[in-house]
Amino acid sequence: MKLVGLLTVRNEQWVLGLTVRAALSAMDELIVVDHASDDATPEILAQVAAEHPGRVHLLREEDSSWREAAIRQRLLDEARGRGATHVCALDADEVIAGTLLPGLRDELAALAPGEGLRVPWIDLWRNLDEFRDDSSPFSRSRGILGFRDHPGVGYRPSDQGIDIHVRKPKGLLGQRCFPASREEGGVLHLAYVHGSRIWTRTVWYKMIELLRFRDHRTPEQLNEMYHSSYLDETDLRTSPVPPAWWAPYAALRNQVDLSAASWFEQECRRLWNEHGARAFQGLDLWGVVGKV
Protein backbone atom coordinates (compact mmCIF):
# COMPACT_ATOMS: atom_id res chain seq x y z
CA MET A 1 0.00 0.00 0.00
CA LYS A 2 1.20 3.49 -0.83
CA LEU A 3 -0.79 6.12 1.05
CA VAL A 4 -0.61 9.65 -0.34
CA GLY A 5 -2.17 12.68 1.31
CA LEU A 6 -3.77 15.48 -0.71
CA LEU A 7 -3.73 18.98 0.75
CA THR A 8 -5.08 22.30 -0.54
CA VAL A 9 -3.75 25.49 1.06
CA ARG A 10 -4.16 29.22 0.65
CA ASN A 11 -2.68 31.75 3.06
CA GLU A 12 -2.58 29.22 5.89
CA GLN A 13 0.44 30.44 7.83
CA TRP A 14 -1.74 30.64 10.95
CA VAL A 15 -1.94 26.83 11.22
CA LEU A 16 0.11 25.17 8.49
CA GLY A 17 3.20 24.53 10.61
CA LEU A 18 1.07 22.14 12.65
CA THR A 19 -1.23 20.56 10.09
CA VAL A 20 1.22 19.73 7.32
CA ARG A 21 3.60 18.03 9.76
CA ALA A 22 0.69 16.20 11.40
CA ALA A 23 -0.43 14.88 8.01
CA LEU A 24 3.03 13.48 7.36
CA SER A 25 2.79 11.37 10.51
CA ALA A 26 0.12 9.29 8.76
CA MET A 27 1.04 9.50 5.06
CA ASP A 28 3.86 8.01 3.02
CA GLU A 29 3.89 11.14 0.87
CA LEU A 30 2.02 14.41 0.73
CA ILE A 31 1.03 16.43 -2.34
CA VAL A 32 0.16 20.07 -1.72
CA VAL A 33 -1.43 22.63 -4.01
CA ASP A 34 -0.55 26.15 -2.89
CA HIS A 35 -3.50 28.13 -4.20
CA ALA A 36 -2.19 31.64 -4.87
CA SER A 37 -0.86 32.23 -1.34
CA ASP A 38 0.79 35.58 -0.66
CA ASP A 39 1.65 35.12 3.01
CA ALA A 40 4.34 32.88 4.54
CA THR A 41 2.67 29.68 3.32
CA PRO A 42 5.26 28.94 0.57
CA GLU A 43 8.13 29.35 3.03
CA ILE A 44 6.51 27.02 5.57
CA LEU A 45 5.88 24.40 2.90
CA ALA A 46 9.46 24.63 1.67
CA GLN A 47 10.75 24.22 5.22
CA VAL A 48 8.63 21.12 5.85
CA ALA A 49 9.64 19.65 2.48
CA ALA A 50 13.29 20.09 3.47
CA GLU A 51 12.61 18.31 6.76
CA HIS A 52 11.11 15.33 4.88
CA PRO A 53 13.17 14.83 1.70
CA GLY A 54 11.24 13.16 -1.09
CA ARG A 55 7.96 12.99 0.82
CA VAL A 56 6.43 16.42 0.12
CA HIS A 57 5.57 17.41 -3.44
CA LEU A 58 4.59 21.05 -3.98
CA LEU A 59 2.35 22.35 -6.74
CA ARG A 60 1.31 25.96 -7.35
CA GLU A 61 -1.96 27.37 -8.68
CA GLU A 62 -1.78 31.06 -9.59
CA ASP A 63 -5.45 31.53 -10.56
CA SER A 64 -7.03 32.91 -7.38
CA SER A 65 -10.54 31.69 -8.34
CA TRP A 66 -11.60 28.81 -6.10
CA ARG A 67 -12.25 26.02 -8.63
CA GLU A 68 -12.34 23.35 -5.99
CA ALA A 69 -13.24 20.34 -8.14
CA ALA A 70 -10.42 21.03 -10.60
CA ILE A 71 -7.86 21.62 -7.85
CA ARG A 72 -8.78 18.44 -5.99
CA GLN A 73 -8.69 16.45 -9.22
CA ARG A 74 -5.27 17.87 -10.00
CA LEU A 75 -4.05 16.57 -6.65
CA LEU A 76 -5.56 13.16 -7.29
CA ASP A 77 -4.01 12.94 -10.76
CA GLU A 78 -0.61 13.80 -9.29
CA ALA A 79 -1.01 11.13 -6.60
CA ARG A 80 -1.87 8.54 -9.22
CA GLY A 81 1.18 9.56 -11.21
CA ARG A 82 3.28 8.88 -8.11
CA GLY A 83 1.89 5.39 -7.64
CA ALA A 84 -0.67 5.97 -4.90
CA THR A 85 -2.88 2.98 -4.12
CA HIS A 86 -4.73 4.78 -1.33
CA VAL A 87 -5.47 8.48 -0.90
CA CYS A 88 -6.42 10.70 2.04
CA ALA A 89 -7.69 14.24 1.42
CA LEU A 90 -7.26 16.90 4.08
CA ASP A 91 -7.70 20.66 4.25
CA ALA A 92 -5.08 22.89 5.81
CA ASP A 93 -7.12 23.36 9.01
CA GLU A 94 -7.56 19.65 9.75
CA VAL A 95 -5.63 17.13 11.86
CA ILE A 96 -6.21 13.39 12.25
CA ALA A 97 -6.74 12.67 15.96
CA GLY A 98 -3.83 10.80 17.48
CA THR A 99 -6.11 7.96 18.60
CA LEU A 100 -6.83 7.08 14.95
CA LEU A 101 -3.21 6.80 13.86
CA PRO A 102 -2.47 3.25 15.15
CA GLY A 103 -5.33 1.67 13.18
CA LEU A 104 -5.71 4.01 10.22
CA ARG A 105 -3.45 2.27 7.74
CA ASP A 106 -4.96 -1.15 8.50
CA GLU A 107 -8.45 0.23 7.97
CA LEU A 108 -7.44 1.77 4.66
CA ALA A 109 -5.64 -1.39 3.55
CA ALA A 110 -8.81 -3.40 4.15
CA LEU A 111 -10.86 -1.30 1.72
CA ALA A 112 -11.95 -2.75 -1.59
CA PRO A 113 -11.06 -0.76 -4.74
CA GLY A 114 -13.28 2.31 -4.90
CA GLU A 115 -14.34 2.04 -1.27
CA GLY A 116 -14.09 5.05 1.05
CA LEU A 117 -13.27 5.34 4.74
CA ARG A 118 -15.80 7.45 6.63
CA VAL A 119 -14.69 9.02 9.93
CA PRO A 120 -16.17 11.54 12.39
CA TRP A 121 -15.50 15.23 11.69
CA ILE A 122 -14.97 16.93 15.04
CA ASP A 123 -15.24 20.71 15.21
CA LEU A 124 -12.95 22.25 17.81
CA TRP A 125 -14.82 25.25 19.14
CA ARG A 126 -13.24 28.64 19.92
CA ASN A 127 -10.02 27.05 21.22
CA LEU A 128 -7.84 23.96 20.70
CA ASP A 129 -9.04 22.14 23.81
CA GLU A 130 -12.83 22.05 23.43
CA PHE A 131 -15.04 20.53 20.76
CA ARG A 132 -18.67 21.02 19.80
CA ASP A 133 -20.63 18.29 21.55
CA ASP A 134 -24.39 18.85 21.35
CA SER A 135 -27.36 17.90 19.20
CA SER A 136 -26.38 20.11 16.25
CA PRO A 137 -25.14 18.88 12.86
CA PHE A 138 -21.67 20.02 13.96
CA SER A 139 -21.65 17.17 16.48
CA ARG A 140 -22.92 14.37 14.24
CA SER A 141 -21.05 14.74 10.97
CA ARG A 142 -18.85 12.14 9.30
CA GLY A 143 -16.91 12.56 6.09
CA ILE A 144 -14.70 10.63 3.70
CA LEU A 145 -11.11 10.86 4.89
CA GLY A 146 -9.61 8.46 2.36
CA PHE A 147 -10.28 5.78 -0.21
CA ARG A 148 -8.64 2.94 -2.08
CA ASP A 149 -8.14 4.16 -5.59
CA HIS A 150 -10.27 3.08 -8.51
CA PRO A 151 -10.45 4.62 -12.01
CA GLY A 152 -14.05 5.69 -11.54
CA VAL A 153 -13.37 7.79 -8.43
CA GLY A 154 -12.66 11.47 -8.88
CA TYR A 155 -13.59 15.07 -8.16
CA ARG A 156 -16.13 16.67 -10.47
CA PRO A 157 -18.67 19.50 -10.27
CA SER A 158 -22.22 18.65 -9.29
CA ASP A 159 -24.86 17.93 -11.91
CA GLN A 160 -25.80 21.62 -11.64
CA GLY A 161 -22.23 22.67 -12.40
CA ILE A 162 -21.40 23.69 -8.82
CA ASP A 163 -17.65 23.24 -8.37
CA ILE A 164 -17.27 24.23 -4.70
CA HIS A 165 -18.09 22.12 -1.63
CA VAL A 166 -17.06 18.97 -3.49
CA ARG A 167 -15.05 17.43 -0.67
CA LYS A 168 -16.59 13.97 -1.10
CA PRO A 169 -15.19 12.27 -4.23
CA LYS A 170 -17.66 11.03 -6.81
CA GLY A 171 -17.80 7.43 -8.00
CA LEU A 172 -17.19 5.70 -4.68
CA LEU A 173 -18.37 2.08 -4.76
CA GLY A 174 -18.99 1.80 -1.03
CA GLN A 175 -18.06 3.16 2.39
CA ARG A 176 -16.81 1.83 5.72
CA CYS A 177 -16.98 3.65 9.04
CA PHE A 178 -14.00 4.04 11.38
CA PRO A 179 -13.84 4.25 14.34
CA ALA A 180 -17.02 2.81 15.82
CA SER A 181 -17.81 5.90 17.90
CA ARG A 182 -17.03 9.60 17.80
CA GLU A 183 -15.52 9.42 21.28
CA GLU A 184 -12.64 7.42 19.80
CA GLY A 185 -11.59 10.38 17.65
CA GLY A 186 -11.81 11.56 14.08
CA VAL A 187 -10.58 14.46 11.98
CA LEU A 188 -10.12 17.52 14.17
CA HIS A 189 -11.42 20.57 12.30
CA LEU A 190 -9.72 23.76 13.48
CA ALA A 191 -11.63 26.34 11.42
CA TYR A 192 -13.87 27.35 14.32
CA VAL A 193 -11.03 28.10 16.71
CA HIS A 194 -10.18 31.23 14.69
CA GLY A 195 -13.23 33.45 15.15
CA SER A 196 -12.54 36.20 12.61
CA ARG A 197 -11.37 33.70 10.01
CA ILE A 198 -14.49 31.50 10.06
CA TRP A 199 -16.69 34.62 10.08
CA THR A 200 -15.05 36.23 7.05
CA ARG A 201 -14.59 32.90 5.23
CA THR A 202 -18.32 32.26 5.47
CA VAL A 203 -19.11 35.67 3.97
CA TRP A 204 -16.61 35.00 1.17
CA TYR A 205 -18.30 31.70 0.35
CA LYS A 206 -21.69 33.40 0.24
CA MET A 207 -20.37 36.07 -2.10
CA ILE A 208 -18.64 33.75 -4.57
CA GLU A 209 -21.57 31.34 -4.65
CA LEU A 210 -23.99 34.15 -5.44
CA LEU A 211 -21.72 35.55 -8.13
CA ARG A 212 -20.93 32.27 -9.86
CA PHE A 213 -24.11 30.26 -9.33
CA ARG A 214 -26.82 32.88 -9.15
CA ASP A 215 -29.49 30.58 -10.56
CA HIS A 216 -28.80 27.85 -8.01
CA ARG A 217 -29.78 29.56 -4.73
CA THR A 218 -31.38 32.90 -3.90
CA PRO A 219 -29.66 35.32 -1.49
CA GLU A 220 -32.23 34.36 1.13
CA GLN A 221 -31.46 30.66 0.72
CA LEU A 222 -27.73 31.35 0.97
CA ASN A 223 -28.27 33.38 4.15
CA GLU A 224 -30.10 30.49 5.77
CA MET A 225 -27.77 27.75 4.53
CA TYR A 226 -24.54 29.42 5.60
CA HIS A 227 -25.86 30.50 8.98
CA SER A 228 -27.11 27.04 9.91
CA SER A 229 -24.13 25.23 8.41
CA TYR A 230 -21.34 27.44 9.74
CA LEU A 231 -22.26 29.63 12.68
CA ASP A 232 -25.44 28.46 14.44
CA GLU A 233 -24.73 28.20 18.18
CA THR A 234 -28.27 27.33 19.29
CA ASP A 235 -28.10 25.16 22.44
CA LEU A 236 -24.30 25.20 22.20
CA ARG A 237 -22.48 22.67 24.35
CA THR A 238 -18.78 21.82 24.30
CA SER A 239 -16.63 19.12 25.88
CA PRO A 240 -12.91 18.95 26.65
CA VAL A 241 -10.71 17.44 23.95
CA PRO A 242 -9.26 14.15 25.25
CA PRO A 243 -5.48 14.56 25.65
CA ALA A 244 -4.87 11.46 23.50
CA TRP A 245 -6.30 13.26 20.45
CA TRP A 246 -3.48 15.81 20.63
CA ALA A 247 -0.75 13.61 22.10
CA PRO A 248 1.33 12.95 18.92
CA TYR A 249 1.30 16.65 18.04
CA ALA A 250 1.85 18.26 21.44
CA ALA A 251 5.13 19.85 20.37
CA LEU A 252 3.47 21.38 17.28
CA ARG A 253 0.58 23.21 18.91
CA ASN A 254 2.70 26.35 19.24
CA GLN A 255 2.62 26.55 15.44
CA VAL A 256 -1.00 27.78 15.61
CA ASP A 257 -1.36 31.58 15.56
CA LEU A 258 -4.90 32.63 16.43
CA SER A 259 -3.96 36.31 16.15
CA ALA A 260 -3.15 36.04 12.43
CA ALA A 261 -5.23 38.20 10.10
CA SER A 262 -7.74 36.54 7.81
CA TRP A 263 -7.15 36.98 4.08
CA PHE A 264 -10.85 36.41 3.46
CA GLU A 265 -11.74 39.92 4.66
CA GLN A 266 -9.50 41.52 2.05
CA GLU A 267 -10.92 39.22 -0.62
CA CYS A 268 -14.50 40.10 0.36
CA ARG A 269 -13.65 43.79 -0.02
CA ARG A 270 -12.12 43.13 -3.43
CA LEU A 271 -15.27 41.36 -4.62
CA TRP A 272 -17.44 44.17 -3.25
CA ASN A 273 -15.39 46.85 -5.03
CA GLU A 274 -15.18 44.88 -8.27
CA HIS A 275 -18.84 43.89 -8.60
CA GLY A 276 -20.64 46.65 -6.69
CA ALA A 277 -23.38 46.63 -4.10
CA ARG A 278 -26.16 45.61 -6.52
CA ALA A 279 -24.48 42.25 -7.19
CA PHE A 280 -24.99 41.27 -3.54
CA GLN A 281 -28.51 42.64 -3.03
CA GLY A 282 -30.30 40.60 -0.35
CA LEU A 283 -27.15 38.87 0.91
CA ASP A 284 -26.38 39.29 4.61
CA LEU A 285 -22.67 40.13 4.71
CA TRP A 286 -22.55 40.52 8.51
CA GLY A 287 -20.75 43.86 8.32
CA VAL A 288 -17.62 42.44 6.70
CA VAL A 289 -18.17 44.79 3.77
CA GLY A 290 -20.56 47.69 3.11
CA LYS A 291 -24.26 47.34 3.71
CA VAL A 292 -26.57 46.85 0.74
Task: Label residue 162 exposed, middle or buried (CB < 10 Å: 0-12, 13-18, 19+).
Answer: middle
One digit per residue, the tens of pLDDT, for the chain of length 292 reads 999 999 999 999 999 999 999 999 999 999 999 999 999 999 999 999 999 999 999 999 999 889 999 999 999 999 999 999 999 999 999 999 999 999 999 999 999 999 999 999 999 999 999 999 999 888 889 999 999 999 999 999 998 899 999 999 999 999 999 999 999 999 999 999 988 899 999 999 999 999 999 999 999 999 999 987 777 888 999 999 999 999 999 999 999 999 998 999 999 999 999 999 999 999 999 999 975 4
The CATH number corresponding to 3-189 among 3.90.550.10, 3.40.50.300, 1.10.760.10, 2.60.120.200 equals 3.90.550.10
Q: What's the pLDDT score for residue 258?
A: 92
Residue 240 to residue 248: CA distance in whole angstroms:
17
Q: Where are the domains of the chain?
A: 3-189, 195-243+251-280
Annotate 20-33 with b (16+ C-beta within 10 A) or e (fewer): bbbbbebbbbbbbb
Q: What's the pLDDT score for residue 278?
A: 95
144-201: per-residue pLDDT in tens? 999 999 999 999 999 889 999 999 999 999 999 999 999 999 999 999 998 889 999 9
Residues in the chain: 292
Which pTM value belongs to this model? 0.95
